[in-house]
Amino acid sequence: MSGISIESPSPTGGQALDMTAAVPHKGLDLIASVAGADGRVMAVPDRGTPDLAEALADVEFLVLDHDRDDVLALLGELPRLRVVQTVIAGTDKVRPSIPAGVTLCNASGVRDIPVAEWALSALLGAYSGLLRSVRAQSTERWQLLRHGELFGKVVLILGLGSIGRALKARLEALGAEVIGVASATREGVHGPEELDSLLPRVDALVVLAPLTERTRGAIGAAQLSLLRDGALVVSCGRGEVVDTAALLAELHAVRLEAVIDVVDPEPLPAGHPLWSAPNAYISSHIAGNSAEGEDRAWEFAGAQLGRYISGEPLLNVVMRGDR
């Protein structure tokens, strides 16, 4: 097997053991450098590599690229695996595949800036008329559109975690009023049980909530019906949080407008009615995909590997191996 074995403290506190780390090829150099590894860690073999499980059999610390479903399916076949580190915040698609005895960590925080900027761009693009004007460009007809302003609008952020807080700061700097809803009530933040009573007040709803059993379908027909006519829905958390059929009904009624980065199903197949729905603007799950955010993800993964090698507690633990 290629790659280097690194002397690492045992995660159970025993004697040092030979440890192999496997990381995505595109993050290999940066992760190894930040980790302070002596030499090279192993690059995860390309998709379609024969005997992939055998190639990864000695891996103890795995940095999982979120699009490698082939690697995800093999986690239970890796006998030495102890840590899975993702490079994104969401772990809803990863958690069911984590074997007992394996710790799962996410990369919460590394992509806060691009997602917050995407959501802000969606709001500005909709209220400034930019999105409608660019779409009308294909008609080659000079058209003057009346539009609104983000200043003074009431924006509800569903999912006021680190990304939501980054968006809140940017919105308030531009003069918008922000209402935050999170999984539990805390000072200055509403709980989910208050959502329905708040929706009639808002001009825009930004859906940033992670996907859990509690949030799946949380924005359905009942919630969308509570939004005032002309309200804007911005979705950039997980597609399954918003009921697609209910959103389509509102869009075809030309009652709401939506800017969407995440959908259900995803990827959105050709011919799906959401593509051609009136008042809908769709990007292909790109919000967190900045080059700078990716570099921060590799740097964080490298720091996590360095902590593991030196026996320090890991950060952003989602599931503990001793559960």
Alpha-carbon distances, residue 110 vs 86, 181, 301, 306 (angstroms): 11, 22, 10, 17
CB 34 within 8 A of CB 63: no
CB 179 within 8 A of CB 154: yes
Question: Could you identify the residue written with the tokens 């911005």?
Answer: 234
Asked if residue 86 and residue 225 are part of one domain, the reply reads no
Asked if residue 264 and residue 128 are part of one domain, the reply reads yes
Residue 148 maps to which CATH number? 3.40.50.720
pLDDT digits (tens, 9 = 90+) for 133-147: 999 998 999 989 999
CB 279 within 8 A of CB 256: yes
pLDDT digits (tens, 9 = 90+) for 36-62: 865 568 999 999 999 999 999 999 999
Domain that holds residue 172: 112-282
Residues with Cβ < 8 Å from 116, sequence gap 6 or more? 163, 166, 167, 170
Asked whether residue 1 is assigned to any structural domain, the reply reads no
- pLDDT for the residue numbered 19: 67
261: confidence class by pLDDT, cuts 50, 70, 90 = very high
Asked if residue 269 and residue 185 are part of one domain, the reply reads yes
Asked if residue 120 and residue 104 are part of one domain, the reply reads no
Asked whether residue 43 is assigned to any structural domain, the reply reads yes
Q: Cis peptide leading into 9, omega within 30 of 0?
A: no
Give buried/exposed letters for 161-172 (b at 16+ CB in 10 A, else e): bbbbbbbbebbe
322: confidence class by pLDDT, cuts 50, 70, 90 = confident
Asked if residue 219 and residue 129 are part of one domain, the reply reads yes
Asked whether residue 162 is assigned to any structural domain, the reply reads yes
Asked if residue 278 and residue 129 are part of one domain, the reply reads yes
Q: Which two tokens stand for residue 247?
A: 């959103």
Count of structural domains within the chain? 2
User: pTM of the predicted model, to two decimals?
Assistant: 0.89
Asked if residue 306 and residue 160 are part of one domain, the reply reads no
The amino acid present at 173, given as its one-letter code, is: A
Mean of the per-residue pLDDT values for the chain? 92
Asked if residue 274 and residue 131 are part of one domain, the reply reads yes
The amino acid present at 298, given as its one-letter code, is: W
- pLDDT for the residue numbered 143: 87
- pLDDT for the residue numbered 9: 40
254: confidence class by pLDDT, cuts 50, 70, 90 = very high
End-to-end CA distance of the chain: 31
pLDDT digits (tens, 9 = 90+) for 167-181: 999 999 999 999 999
pLDDT digits (tens, 9 = 90+) for 27-37: 999 999 999 86
- pLDDT for the residue numbered 36: 83
Asked if residue 126 and residue 92 are part of one domain, the reply reads no
pLDDT digits (tens, 9 = 90+) for 191-213: 999 999 999 999 999 999 999 99
Report the percent of the chain where pLDDT is more than 90.
88
Closest of 49, 52, 48, 43 to residue 74, by C-alpha: 52
Question: Could you identify the residue written with the tokens 């009136």?
Answer: 278
Asked if residue 247 and residue 301 are part of one domain, the reply reads no
DSSP letter (8 states) at residue 150 = S
Asked if residue 310 and residue 253 are part of one domain, the reply reads no
- pLDDT for the residue numbered 6: 36
Any long-range contacts for 134-143 (C-beta under 8 Å, 24+ apart)?
A: 135/281
Question: Could you identify the residue written with the tokens 């980054």?
Answer: 166
Asked if residue 274 and residue 148 are part of one domain, the reply reads yes
